[in-house]
Structure 1
Amino acid sequence: MYTIKNYHFAESVDEVAALLQKSRANTVLGGGTWLRLGERNIATAIDLSHLGLDQITETEEEITLGAMVSLRALEQSTLLQTQFGGLLARCVRHIVGVQFRGLATVGASVASRYGFSDVITALLALDTEVELCPGGRLPLAAYLQQPPARQLLVAVHIKKDGCTAVHTSHRLTETDFPVLAVAAARCKDGSFRISVGARPAVAQRCPQAEQAAEANGPEAAGEAAAEMLQFGSNTRSSAEYRKVLAKVLVTRALTELAEKESLAR
């Protein structure tokens, strides 16, 4: 369990950023889903619930997910059920259960850089930026490559570029963490974005698979992903099995994507 000395309701994102810089023992609370899975002493727990960051908003150019948007909100959003082929609404449907998805947040999932995150895998297949305080906006892929810093992840911004996308995964049981997860998107110019997560490291795009998909189709892309990405072993799977799965799931995702595009014509 966590031990908290002070509990603070932040009134602005700048206030949160100042508190994070003040002490490494000050911590932003996300959904609180892992409170019982470890021990940690927190000087000041920072609650974001007064900042209005639990909203999904839309402009002509992009969709914005506030940091406190829950995974259940992603699943239930009528907007997200129609955008990007329903990718964001579908990618969370296997995550533990409704109660858990009602607590877990987008911001915590991304900021924690969880290797098993279906949300990160899906967002990488889209044209996604994160908004930080301090730091401003930068591409999600670049953010994931940086070491964790004392910043507040304020929101996730997704460009409405007209892409169609799909998500698939392999799990040992229906609501377990993924053994491997894949998201694939087809852009209007015919190019692809392919990301592979739960390797078990954090999700990563595979440019070689994207190029192979455009030139030679789904099976070639699957082979490229299996060869070019690095895989590791943990209690759920060996690296060798993940490599085989990558070929299968990338091929499957791209085949499903082609079928979805055909039905949309």
Structure 2
Amino acid sequence: MFTLVDLVQPDNLAEAYQILSDKRNNTILGGCAFLKMGSKRIGTAIDLTNLNLSYIREQASFIEIGAMTSLREIETHTQLREYFNGVLPKSVHNIIGVQFRNGVTVGASVYSKYGFSDLITALLALDTEVELYKGGRMPLVDFLNKPHEKDILVKVWIKKNNRKAAYLNLRKSASDYAVINVAVSMLENQWTIVVGARPSKAAIAVRASAALSKGKLSVEEIEGAAQKASEELSFGTNTRGTSEYRKVLCQVLVKRGIMEVLHANRSDN
């Protein structure tokens, strides 16, 4: 259980960022689900409840998701189920339980760059950007590759297009984190293959994605892309599985994801 010395609820982002920057152990509170599992000592905890950052808004070209939006809101949102084959609601549906998903926020999940994050894997397969208070707006892939800096994630932007996507994962039990998770997407014959819970953070299999985009999508090419993804990405060992096990699972789930996207594309044509 974490401990804190003080709790504040700022009225604007500028005030929140100033307090965050004042001391090293000042911390933004999300849903606190993961903080509860540790023993972190927080100087001043910053609650963003008063900043109206819990929303899902559909704009002309983008979907905006506020940082304080819960995973449960992602799961149940009607419009999100209609975009990208419902990949975002599907990615969070099996995370532990409804009570847990009601507490976990999008901002905390993405900003923390958790290796086990199902949501990051799905977002990385889409045309996603993040908006930071200090750092501004940037592609999600760039944010994930940046060194950690104190900042506040304000919202996530997802470009609205005809991208088809699929999300798959393997869990040892319904209440556990994924052993591995995979997202695959395709837009105008350009493919993106993402693998997360390796157990390090999600990453795009760049070479495998490029090879699949140039092919004719024969069975052999699909299997080859799945194998390339397992070979170009690194895998580690933890209590949920070995690196070798994850590498094998990667091939299986990537192939299934590609086939699922192809089926969805044919169904819409």
Q: Which TM-score applies when normalising by structure 1?
A: 0.97
- Aligned twin of 2:245: 241
Shift of 1:34: 2.5
- Aligned twin of 1:68: 68
- Aligned twin of 1:209: 208
Give CA-to-partner distance per residue, 1:82-101, whole Å, 9 cap, x none. 01110101111110000000
Shift of 1:18: 1.1
Shift of 1:246: 0.8
**Structure 1 residue 264 and structure 2 residue 268: aligned?**
yes
Give secondary structure in 2 for the equivalent of 1:208: helix
**Structure 1 residue 219 and structure 2 residue 218: aligned?**
no
Shift of 1:212: 2.3
- Aligned twin of 2:196: 197
Shift of 1:174: 2.1
Unmatched 5+ stretches in structure 2: none
- Structure 1 ranges of 4+ moved more than 2 A: none
Equivalent-residue separation in structure 2 for 1:10 and 1:82 (angstroms): 35
Q: What are the residue-to-residue correspondences of 1:39-78 with 2, within 5 Å?
A: 39-78=39-78
- Aligned twin of 2:31: 31
Give CA-to-partner distance per residue, 1:39-60, whole Å, 9 cap, x none. 1221111001111100001111
C-alpha RMSD of the superposition = 1.0
Residue of structure 1 aligned with 2:254, choices 250, 257, 263: 250
Instruction: Name whichever of 165-174 and 116-125 sits farther off.
Output: 165-174
Equivalent-residue separation in structure 2 for 1:36 and 1:197 (angstroms): 23
Equivalent-residue separation in structure 1 for 2:262 and 2:36 (angstroms): 43
- Aligned twin of 1:2: 2
| Amino acid paired to 1:221 | A
Shift of 1:216: 5.1
Shift of 1:147: 1.8
Give secondary structure in 2 for the equivalent of 1:121: helix
Give secondary structure in 1 for the equivalent of 2:51: coil
**Structure 1 residue 129 and structure 2 residue 129: aligned?**
yes
Give secondary structure in 2 for the equivalent of 1:75: helix
Give CA-to-partner distance per residue, 1:54-88, whole Å, 9 cap, x none. 00011111001100010000000001010111010
Equivalent-residue separation in structure 1 for 2:35 and 2:261 (angstroms): 38
- Aligned twin of 2:154: 154
Equivalent-residue separation in structure 2 for 1:156 and 1:36 (angstroms): 25
Q: Which TM-score applies when normalising by structure 2?
A: 0.96
Equivalent-residue separation in structure 2 for 1:209 and 1:47 (angstroms): 41
Give secondary structure in 2 for the equivalent of 1:227: helix
- Aligned twin of 1:119: 119
Equivalent-residue separation in structure 2 for 1:38 and 1:123 (angstroms): 26
Q: Percent identity?
A: 44
Equivalent-residue separation in structure 1 for 2:216 and 2:94 (angstroms): 31
